[in-house]
Amino acid sequence: MSASDKAFQELARIFSTRNNRILEIEILPPALGPLLQDECSVGITKKYLVQSFVTARRIFFEKLRYTFERGTPRAIPQNENESVTHGASDAILEDLLVSTEIILLFDCEHITACNWRRRRLDALNRHHDFSSDDPGPLIQALETELTLLTTYLCSPLHRHTKSPTLWQHRIWVLSRLLEIRETGARRPHFVSPSEETNQHQESNVDLLKYELAIVHRAGELHPRNYYAFNYMRQVHNILSGATEDLREGHSVLAESTIDSMLYWCLGHPSDISGWMFMLYLLKAVPKGNVRPSTVNKVVRYALDIGWEGESLWMFVDLCVRTFGLGGTVRNALLESNECACTPPAVLDWETAKETAASPKPWKIWLALAQAYWTDQQKTQ
């Protein structure tokens, strides 16, 4: 057995025995390799991963070519003993599945491997009997795909957490799973076959929070993760569309995640992608005191820690211009809980309005904050 084949067998064993668990995979330095596993934590050297990829790619295209050379392929099994993909045997299907998992671990933008997995799930979905009381096999396949994607997106890998291919594949899989959940909800005696399925029968709020936690992890691993937060916008829109009252559902779902999103943003104040998603959520919640309260917390936090970064103050400026919260921000900037004095009038509101028309209007809020800090130092 060659070194590449051995590497493939070792990594294939880990994926084949995953049992729907979410793994955390990271690249090891050569001195620690080539492969280590402790429960759900997996470490592999770059060289060992390249070797396994070489064999996985060869197996994938060999098996794929074989399935098409057998004549007219079938995309759906005719009985329990027949494979799902193009009439291939169970062994060939398993080889295709595990080889694509390893390929995507090495190259998250491998469109051919990703599309094969999508076509397989799509074939299952199209030929599934939705009148049946047991959607178990289809749900299990979709949930297995979601946990695999969570493994990729939440592992400390170089490119996976910000992969447009993986995020788009995840939204596709989640959409199919939600369709089945809605179909099952209309059936009074629907019983899900696993603990994972029960999670999808819970409220859309819980599902949105679960997906947001995944995005937060991806955002921590890869700062300014636009693809991750754009995925959350898509999830929010899909779940909002599943409610009877579209407008109310849109607002309720957004409001349910504002606290956790604000907590994450304050923990990562330089991440502009997080702040822009925070702005998106505030736009979806027009009622009550949510907007001014959130912006006030942001400004007070910046004042307390002396934060001068552009991303946070850009968010503040956009909130002022979008929601008309200039008064809220001014009050937070010009009032101190510790003393009754106010910062010097070096920057009055007329000056602020003039600066707001400049190419970087957010700097006026930073300038007012700096005046606040200067005044605080003088009073100490």
- Residue 233 reports pLDDT greater than 90: yes
Contact 283, 312 (CB under 8 A): no
User: To the nearest whole percent, how much of the chain has pLDDT over 70?
Assistant: 79
Q: Average pLDDT, stretch 269-289? A: 94
Residues 6+ apart with CB under 8 A from 309: 269, 270
- Residue 13 reports pLDDT greater than 50: yes
- Of the pLDDT bands very low, low, confident and very high (cuts 50, 70, 90), residue 338 is very low
User: Looking at residue 232, what is its pLDDT?
Assistant: 98
pLDDT tens figures, 164-202 = 999 999 999 999 999 887 775 544 444 444 444 334 335
Average pLDDT over the chain reads 83
Q: What is the pTM of this model?
A: 0.85
Domain boundaries, the chain: 1-71+92-106, 131-184+200-285, 287-336+360-379
What interhelical angle do 326-334 and 363-379 show, nearest 10? Answer: 20
pLDDT tens figures, 97-120 = 999 999 999 999 999 999 999 999
* Cα distance between residue 169 and residue 160, in whole Å: 12
- Residue 155 reports pLDDT greater than 70: yes
Report domain 131-184+200-285's class: mainly alpha
**Integer CA distances (angstroms), 44 to 13, 36, 55, 108, 220, in order:** 14, 6, 16, 16, 21
